[in-house]
Chain A
Amino acid sequence: MKIECRRFLAAAIFLFPLVFISTAMGQEESALMGQEESAFQWVVFSDTPPQSAMASDGSKILVAGTGTFEVGEDKEVTGGGTWATFNASGVATGSGKFRVTRLVKFDLAPGSASAQGHPTFHAGLAFLRIVYDDGSKGILVVSCNLNFFSPGTTPPSVPEGFSASKGFVDYWYGFINGDTIFKAIPRDRH
C-alpha cells in the first residue's frame, strides 16, 4: 500500500507541470474568448439615399458593402462593395467596385442589441485596407454605434457610419447618415 502511495505521489509530481501547462493553455483560450468572438462581419448598408462621406472640397464618395475579418489575422479578410464619387457640383467622377485586402485595426466598443434579439451585433471601429477597381487604393473606416438599439450603451464618441480614403483624398467627413453593423461570426463558421 505504501508503494502504491509512493507511486501515486510520483505520478502526481510528474503530472504537476502538465496541469500548469493545460491551465495556461486554458487561460490563453479564455483570453481569446475574452474577445468572445474573434471573427466579424461588417456591413455598410445600401440605403436610400446611399451613405456618403465628403472630402474638404465638398466632393463625395458613396459606399456600400460587406465582408468579414478575423482579429489577429490581418490577411483573413473577405468582401468589398461598390463605390461612386462625385465632385463638389454633384457630377459623377467615377464608380465601380472595391475589395478589402487587409484588416488594419479593429476595436470592439460597448453596446448591445441583445434585448432586440440581436445578440451577435456589436459596436466598434474598424480600419480596412481596400483596393478600388480603378487601381487606386485606400482605407475604409467603419464605425458602429448601437445606441439605435439600446440608447446609452455605446459611448457617444463612437460614430455611426464610414469614412474612406482614395489615393491622396480623404473623404473624412463621414458618419453623416451612417448605417453600419458588426456581427460576430460563430466560431464553427470561420
Chain B
Amino acid sequence: MRTNRRWFRIGLILLVLPLVFVLYAMANGDGDRKETKYRWDIVHISSFSPVTANQGGFASALANDGSKITVTGHGTFEPQEPDEVTGGGTWTTFAPDGTTVTGTGTYRVQQLVRFNVAPGVQTAGLVDNIPGAIGDLTDQRAGLLFVKIAYSDGSKGVLVVSCHLNGGPDFVTRPAAPASIFEGITASKDYADYWNRLPPIGAPTPVDGNRTLFHILSQDENRDRE
C-alpha cells in the first residue's frame, strides 16, 4: 500500500510538473505578445490658439511633374505584427496645374512596412481631441511610418507618415524631435511617387494642413525603439 502511494505521488508529480511549466510558459508568452499599438492621424487643427488637434485633416505631396495627391486618414498598427493594421482615408489627385482633379476615392491600409518611433515631445498646452488620446500629451510620439495601401481605383502604393513634435515652450524639459524629421506625408500610387511633401505652414499666420500625429495606445514601447 505504501509503495502504491509512493508511485501515485511520483506519477502525480510527473504529470503535474510539466503542466505547471507549460502554464507558466504560456503566461509569459502572453506577456511577450502584449503588443505595442499605435494610432496615426493626419490631423485637423481647428484652432491655433490654443492649438487644437482633431482627426480628419488633410496632407499633400507633389510628384516630379508638379501633380499632387491630397490624402486624409487615420488608422492603427502594431510594430511587431505587420498585418495588424486598420484604417485608411480618402485621396484626390490633381494635375500639375494644381486644380484639375484627375482622380478621387478612398484607400485602405493593407500592411505595415516599417515604423520608427523618434525622440521628442509635444508642445505644452496643445489640446488633443484625437479619439483614444489621454489628453495630457504623454501618449504622443514623433516617428516615421511606412504602410502599404490599396486605392479604391485598384492601384496600390506606399503611404509615408512622418511626425515631428515641436517641444517647448521650455525646451529643456520638453525637447523637440530632431529637425531631420519631416512633418507630413508622401505617397506612391503605382509607379508615380508623390515624394515632395508639402510642409505645414506655421507662424506668423498658421494654416491647417500637412500635420500628423502618432499616439501610443498600448505599451511595450521599448521594443520599437532603435
Bound complex: CA A145 to CA B193 (Å): 12
User: Smallest CB–CB gap between B121 and chain A, Å?
Assistant: 14
Bound complex: CA A59 to CA B178 (Å): 11
Residue B182 CB within 8 A of the other chain: yes
Known: A137-B226, A170-B144. A105 touches B156 (CB 8 A): yes
Residue A80 CB within 8 A of the other chain: no
Q: How many residues of B contact A (CB 8 A)?
A: 36
Bound complex: CA A107 to CA B116 (Å): 25
Known: A135-B226, A158-B193, A159-B193. A127 touches B113 (CB 8 A): yes
Q: Is the CB of A143 within 8 A of B193?
A: yes
Q: Is the CB of A169 within 8 A of B180?
A: yes
Cross-chain pair count, CB within 8 angstroms: 115
Most B Cβ at <10 Å: residue of A138, A139, A167: A167
Within 8 A of B (CB), among A116-153: 123-125, 127, 129, 135-139, 141, 143, 145
Out of B63, B178, B183, name the residue touching A169 (CB < 8 Å).
B178
B193 cross-chain contacts in A, Cβ below 8 A: 125, 141, 143, 157-159, 175
B113 cross-chain contacts in A, Cβ below 8 A: 104, 127, 129, 139
B162 cross-chain contacts in A, Cβ below 8 A: 170, 172
Residue A168 CB within 8 A of the other chain: yes
B residues contacting A by CB (< 8 A) are 63-65, 67, 113-114, 116-118, 142-144, 146, 148, 156-158, 160, 162, 164, 178-183, 186, 188, 190-193, 195-197, 226
A residues contacting B by CB (< 8 A) are 55-57, 59, 104-105, 107-109, 123-125, 127, 129, 135-139, 141, 143, 145, 155-159, 163, 165, 167-170, 172-175
The 6 closest A-B pairs by CB, nearest first: A156-B65, A109-B191, A168-B118, A57-B179, A168-B116, A157-B63
